[in-house]
C-alpha cells in the first residue's frame, strides 16, 4: 500500500469543531502524531490498533524538536504507514504545516492537507469578541507574537500592520506581551484601546482577561496568566460584555467524572460538552460477553417457550441480538412475545431493531415492572402462573426481579447475557480526585459505584 501523510488541522480544542474530513483521517491512520493543542478526545476516533505518539511542544519544553517530528513522520510513512499529523488549529496558520509538507515533498511521500478551524478565528468568537463589526471594525490581521516582540530582528512590521487594521490578533505572544504593547502604542494606538487575552479558548477551562493597552500587561502579570492564549486588541473587545455566550453555559468550567463503559459514554459526554463542561472519562467497568454463552444460545433456540422477555439494560439488548445473529435469526423471532424494558435508553436500543416495548415503567425500576404485572393479573389480563419470563442480564444483576416473579407464580430463566469486569482508575483520574478537581461524579449502575470506591483503595 502506498504511504500517505495527512497534515490535519484539529481546530482549537472543542471536539465539536473537528471537521468530518479530519475525523476520517484520524480513523484511517495507522500512526497518529499529535501535538499539545489537539484535544486528546480526538484520539477516540482512531482505530484501537493505531499507534499514537505525542509530539507536543510548548515554550522551553519540547518532547520532540521540529526536525525530529519531521524525521519521525517520514520514517513512519516510508514504512508503509498511513500517517495523520494532527495539529491544533489549522496546519498552515502558524502551524509549520508548510515546512512539513515541503519535507514530505522532498522525500517523495504523498500528502494531503486538511484545513482546521484556526484559534485566531474561533477563540475570540468563543469569548464573545467579533473580529469585525459594522461601524466599529472592518478589518483585522493575525500575526505571531514570537516575532512581533523584537523590533530589531522581527520580520513583522507591527507598527504598520497595527495602524492599518482595526483589530489585531496575536498568537503565541503572552510571554512577550509588554514588548508587543510597546510597539502597538508606538504605532499610534490609544492607550485606552481595549485588549483581551483568551486562554484555552473553546475548552471548558477557557479563561478571558480584559483590559486596555495601558494596563493589560500588568493585569496579565498580576493574574499569572499563562499561555497558550490568543491576544485581541481593538474596539471590538468592548462587545464581549454583551456577546459572551460560551462562558454562560450551564456546565462551563465543571469537571465531570463519567464512569460508564467507554463504548457507551459517547452520548453522555456529548451532552456534557454541549454545555461547555469537561467530561473526564474514567470507566470503572468493562462489558464483555458471558464466559459461558451456552445458556443464552439455548434460550434463543427455544424462544417459543417464553411469553415475556425483559431487558433491563442496553447491554442486554446488544448481547441478545448477537445471540440471535449467531443462530441466523433477527428480532422477528420475538413474534408473539411481550417485551418489557427498564430505561429509555434500553427502549431506544430496541427501537433501533424495529421493536417497540410493550411496557416501560415510568420510574425505571424492578418495582415498576412488578406493579404493572400485578395490575394486569388483577384485571384478569394475565395469569402469571402460566407465564414464562426470559431475563438476559449481567452476571452481577440483582436477583430481586427473578425472585419476585417466581413468587408470583411465573417461570423465570435469568440467563447471563454478558459480564462486567472492573477497570482500574487511571493515575490522572486519581490525581484529579486527590486535588479535589472534580465537580461532579456520575454513575450509571451500582457496579460503577462499587468499582469506583474499590479503585480508591488501590
Per-residue confidence (pLDDT) for residue 193, from 0 to 100? 98
Per-residue confidence (pLDDT) for residue 300, from 0 to 100? 94
Question: Distance between CA atoms of 197 and 352, rounded to whole angstroms?
Answer: 47
| Residues 397-433: tens digit of each pLDDT | 889 999 999 999 999 999 999 999 999 999 989 999 9
147 and 155 Cβ atoms separated by less than 8 Å: yes
Angle, alpha carbons 411-412-413 (nearest 5°): 135
Per-residue confidence (pLDDT) for residue 37, from 0 to 100? 62
Per-residue confidence (pLDDT) for residue 112, from 0 to 100? 98
Catalytic residue annotation: 35, 57, 172
| Residues 198-257: tens digit of each pLDDT | 999 999 999 999 999 999 999 999 999 999 899 999 999 999 999 999 999 999 999 999
Q: Which of 131, 126, 127, 99 is nearest to 113 (CA)?
A: 99
Q: Is 231 helix (H, G, I), strand (E, B) or coil?
A: strand
Phi, psi for residue 229 in degrees, rounded to 5: -155, 155
Per-residue confidence (pLDDT) for residue 383, from 0 to 100? 94
Question: Distance between CA atoms of 207 and 276, rounded to whole angstroms?
Answer: 13
Instruction: Give strand pairing partners of 369.
Output: none
Q: Is 263 helix (H, G, I), strand (E, B) or coil?
A: helix
**Angle between helix 344-352 and helix 314-326 axes, rounded to 10 deg:** 30
62 and 91 Cβ atoms separated by less than 8 Å: no
Per-residue confidence (pLDDT) for residue 60, from 0 to 100? 54
Is the sign of the CA dihedral 198, 200, 201, 203 positive or negative?
negative
Cβ contacts of 385 within 8 Å, gap of 6 or more: 409, 410
Residue 150 has pLDDT above 70, yes or no: no
Q: What is the DSSP string of 375-390?
A: HHHHTTS--GGG-EEE
Is the sign of the CA dihedral 142, 100, 51, 418 positive or negative?
positive
Q: Where are the alpha helices (DSSP H) in 65-133?
A: 66-78, 97-106, 119-126
**Angle between helix 366-378 and helix 400-407 axes, rounded to 10 deg:** 10
Per-residue burial over 178-197, b if 16 or more Cβ lie within 10 Å, else e, is ebbbebbbeeebeeebbbbb
- Mean pLDDT score of the chain: 92
Domains of the chain: 4-117 (3.40.1010.10), 121-248 (3.30.950.10), 255-284+423-456 (3.40.50.10090), 288-421 (3.40.50.10090)
Residue 368 has pLDDT above 80, yes or no: yes
Angle, alpha carbons 36-39-41 (nearest 5°): 135
Q: What is the DSSP string of 23-74?
A: HHHHHH-SEEEE-TTS-GGGGGGS-TT-EEEE--EETTEESS-HHHHHHHHH
Residue 155 has pLDDT above 60, yes or no: yes
Confidence of residue 319 (pLDDT cuts 50, 70, 90): very high
Question: Distance between CA atoms of 285 and 292, rounded to whole angstroms?
Answer: 19
**Angle between helix 314-326 and helix 294-301 axes, rounded to 10 deg:** 70
| Residues 31-82: tens digit of each pLDDT | 999 987 667 789 889 998 999 999 986 555 557 899 999 999 999 999 999 9
Is the sign of the CA dihedral 17, 20, 23, 29 positive or negative?
negative
Taking the mean position of all CA atoms in its chain, how far away is CA 74? 29
Q: Is 365 helix (H, G, I), strand (E, B) or coil?
A: coil
Q: Which triple of cell numbers denotes residue 100? A: 512539513
Instruction: Give strand pairing partners of 338.
Output: 308
**pLDDT > 70: percent of the chain:** 96
User: What does the pLDDT average to over 86-97?
Assistant: 94
Amino acid at each position: 500500500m502506498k504511504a500517505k501523510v495527512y497534515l490535519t488541522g484539529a481546530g482549537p480544542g472543542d471536539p465539536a469543531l473537528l471537521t468530518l474530513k479530519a475525523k476520517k483521517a484520524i480513523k484511517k491512520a495507522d500512526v497518529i502524531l499529535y501535538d499539545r493543542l489537539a484535544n486528546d478526545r480526538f484520539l477516540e476516533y482512531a482505530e484501537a490498533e493505531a499507534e499514537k505518539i505525542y509530539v507536543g511542544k510548548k515554550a522551553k519544553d519540547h518532547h520532540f524538536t521540529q526536525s525530529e517530528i519531521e524525521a519521525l513522520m517520514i520514517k513512519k510513512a516510508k514504512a508503509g504507514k498511513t500517517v495523520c499529523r494532527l495539529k491544533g488549529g489549522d496546519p498552515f496558520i502558524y502551524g509549520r504545516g508548510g515546512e512539513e509538507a515541503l519535507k514530505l515533498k522532498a522525500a517523495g511521500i504523498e500528502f494531503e492537507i486538511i484545513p482546521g478551524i484556526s484559534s485566531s478565528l474561533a477563540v475570540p468568537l468563543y469569548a464573545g469578541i467579533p473580529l469585525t463589526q459594522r461601524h466599529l471594525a472592518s478589518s483585522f490581521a493575525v500575526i505571531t507574537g514570537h516575532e512581533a516582540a523584537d523590533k530589531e530582528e522581527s520580520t513583522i512590521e507591527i507598527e504598520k500592520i497595527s495602524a492599518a487594521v482595526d483589530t489585531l490578533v496575536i498568537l503565541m505572544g503572552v510571554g512577550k506581551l509588554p514588548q508587543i504593547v510597546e510597539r502597538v502604542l508606538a504605532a499610534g494606538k490609544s492607550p485606552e484601546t481595549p485588549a483581551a487575552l483568551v486562554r484555552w479558548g473553546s475548552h471548558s477551562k477557557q479563561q478571558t482577561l480584559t483590559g486596555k493597552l495601558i494596563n493589560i500587561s500588568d493585569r496579565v502579570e498580576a493574574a499569572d496568566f499563562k499561555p497558550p492564549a490568543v491576544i485581541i486588541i481593538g474596539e471590538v473587545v468592548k462587545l464581549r460584555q454583551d456577546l459572551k455566550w460560551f462562558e454562560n453555559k450551564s456546565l462551563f468550567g465543571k469537571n465531570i467524572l463519567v464512569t460508564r463503559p467507554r463504548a457507551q459514554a459517547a452520548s453522555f459526554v456529548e451532552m456534557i460538552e454541549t454545555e461547555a463542561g469537561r467530561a473526564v472519562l474514567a470507566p470503572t467497568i468493562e462489558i464483555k460477553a458471558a464466559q459461558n454463552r451456552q445458556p443464552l444460545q439455548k434460550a434463543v433456540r427455544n424462544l417459543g417457550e417464553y411469553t415475556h422477555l425483559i431487558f433491563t439494560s442496553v447491554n442486554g439488548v446488544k448481547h441478545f441480538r448477537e445471540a440471535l445473529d449467531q443462530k441466523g435469526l433477527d428480532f422477528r423471532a420475538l413474534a408473539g412475545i411481550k417485551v418489557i424494558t427498564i430505561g429509555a435508553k434500553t427502549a431506544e436500543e430496541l427501537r433501533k431493531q424495529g421493536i417497540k416495548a410493550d411496557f416501560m415503567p415510568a420510574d425505571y425500576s424492578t418495582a415498576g415492572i412488578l406493579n404493572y404485572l400485578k395490575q394486569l393479573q388483577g384485571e384478569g389480563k394475565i395469569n402469571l402462573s402460566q407465564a414464562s419470563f426470559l431475563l438476559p442480564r449481567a452476571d452481577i444483576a440483582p436477583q430481586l426481579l427473578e425472585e419476585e416473579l417466581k413468587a408470583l407464580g411465573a417461570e423465570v430463566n435469568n440467563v447471563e447475557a454478558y459480564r462486567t469486569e472492573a477497570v482500574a482508575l487511571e493515575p490522572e483520574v486519581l490525581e484529579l480526585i486527590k486535588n479535589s478537581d472534580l465537580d461532579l461524579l456520575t454513575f450509571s449502575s451500582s457496579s460503577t459505584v462499587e468499582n469506583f470506591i474499590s479503585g480508591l483503595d488501590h
